[in-house]
Amino acid sequence: MTITKAINSLAVLTVGILVLAACDDGGTIPEPPIRAIKPFYVSELAGGQVRNFNGTVAASGTSTLSFSIGGTIKSITVNAGDRVTNGQALATLDEAPYKLDVDAARSQLNAAKATLATQKTELKRQKDLYDRGWVAKVVYDQALLSFESSKEDLNYKQSKLSSAERDLTNTTLKAPYDGIIANRTAEPFAEISAGNPLFEINAKGALEVIISVPNTIVSRFTIGQPVKINSDQIARCGCQGRITEIGSVATAANAVTVKATLENPPANLIPGVSMNVFVALSDTENIDGYLLPLNAIAASTGEGTGYVFIFDEGSGSVKRVEIRGRAGRDNMVQVIEGVKAGDIVAAAGVSFLRDGQKVKLMGQLPK
């Protein structure tokens, strides 16, 4: 009996058993449990020279936050690790001294307005007298000079009030963008000076991986070069990235720092996690497909063809995709058509899967 006939007979027997079970249970077939699949993240190129580097995740957008004025810290509303949104209040200073400054500046402005009104009236009176020839020109000039001086004083007092109001507004420190508080260095009731750091904030979603590359091969790296990134510590982390920065100075270990920005990283990936970064060197030619484990591929009728099940995170299901490939190495198959970097492929038990079947990744709750 051929393998195909054996599989068909097994399928018929399975359907018969399910029908009998349905009859015994009042005609209702229970929903099968959601199968957990072992994921394989497509990343390793099949051809050319691919180097694997150990890297560490870091936030590509990091800012140190501080008050632009000094004073006593009144409150701090966030801790390290908290997620914050753009404009959210993070800490406040005691605003009482700054309210007094605003009140004083406003009083000075009102006094300047009154002085200007008086000088304006006096200038008009002196002009009328001068036009009639009853006062000397020097008297009129003095009145004009006093009026112009009052105008300048009014502008200065207006600026002083604006500055005092700005300082009062700055007693509240706000998040400049959506992100995560990476570090907090102050406590309430402490006296601080302008510019003293209070927080370090990492921009939301902006992550990069930092690797050290031997200076003998760093010339084969290029800005914008795609890389494949994954981690055994983070589920669903078969990521893609691009090199965005190449250092120009070697460290004591003759290594150069290279940074790669992640594209659409998973939400549970945070700075500090170790990653594997696969880089195809820039002079590599004839890169042809990707390496997949033999267990992830089910045979098809055509020569050199088969199919895999690709996991779709949006629907929580697998899609049956035909692939074309040839022999690889180390129990791996060189797939030249049907998959792309970043795909999540079922790495085992493919004979028990069907197109559109709901599944979950091992260690994860189903959607």
How big is the chain, counted in residues? 367
Q: What is the pLDDT of residue 14?
A: 46
Please enumerate in sequence order all residues whose Cβ is within 8 A of that of 227, keeping only pairs 6 or more positions apart, or say none. 240, 241, 242, 243, 260, 277, 278, 279
Q: What is the pLDDT of residue 268?
A: 77
Q: What is the pLDDT of residues 116-136, one digit of tens each?
A: 999 999 999 999 999 999 999
Which range of 50-64, 95-109, 329-343 scores highest in mean pLDDT? It is 95-109
Averaged pLDDT, 149-153? 96
CB burial of 80-95 (b: ≥16 within 10 Å; e: otherwise) equals eebebeeeeebbbbeb
The residue with tokens 């899967």 is: 353
Averaged pLDDT, 271-284? 77
In degrees rounded to 5, what are phi and psi of residue 301? -80, -30
Q: What percent of the chain has pLDDT over 90?
A: 46
- Burial class of residue 363, CB neighbours in 10 A (0-12, 13-18, 19+): exposed
Q: What is the pLDDT of residue 30?
A: 60
Q: What percent of the chain has pLDDT over 70?
A: 83
Is 274's pLDDT higher than 50? yes
> Which of 30-39, 106-115, 143-152, 210-219 bottoms out in mean pLDDT, i.e. has the lowest?
30-39
Is 347's pLDDT higher than 80? yes
Angle at CA of residue 93, ends 89 and 96, nearest 5°: 125
Is 164's pLDDT higher than 50? yes
Q: What is the pLDDT of residue 44?
A: 61
DSSP conformation letters of 68-94:
SS-EEEEEE---TT-EE-TT-EEEEE-
3-state secondary structure of 7: helix
DSSP conformation letters of 173-193:
EE-SSSEEEEEE---TT-EE-
Q: What is the pLDDT of residues 285-303, one digit of tens each?
A: 455 677 888 888 888 777 7
The residue with tokens 């058509």 is: 337
Averaged pLDDT, 25-37? 68
CB atoms closer than 10 angstroms to residue 73: 20
Q: What is the pLDDT of residue 357?
A: 92
> Could you tell me the pLDDT band of residue 12, with boundaries at 50, 70 and 90?
very low
Q: What is the pLDDT of residue 22?
A: 47
Is 147's pLDDT higher than 80? yes
Q: What is the pLDDT of residue 51?
A: 83
How high is the mean pLDDT of the chain? Answer: 84
Q: What is the pLDDT of residue 208?
A: 92
Q: What is the pLDDT of residue 77?
A: 96
Averaged pLDDT, 10-30? 49
**At residue 23, what is the residue type?**
C
Averaged pLDDT, 198-218? 89
What are the angstrom distances between the C-alpha of 263 and each of 134, 212, 222, 243, 302? Answer: 83, 20, 17, 11, 36
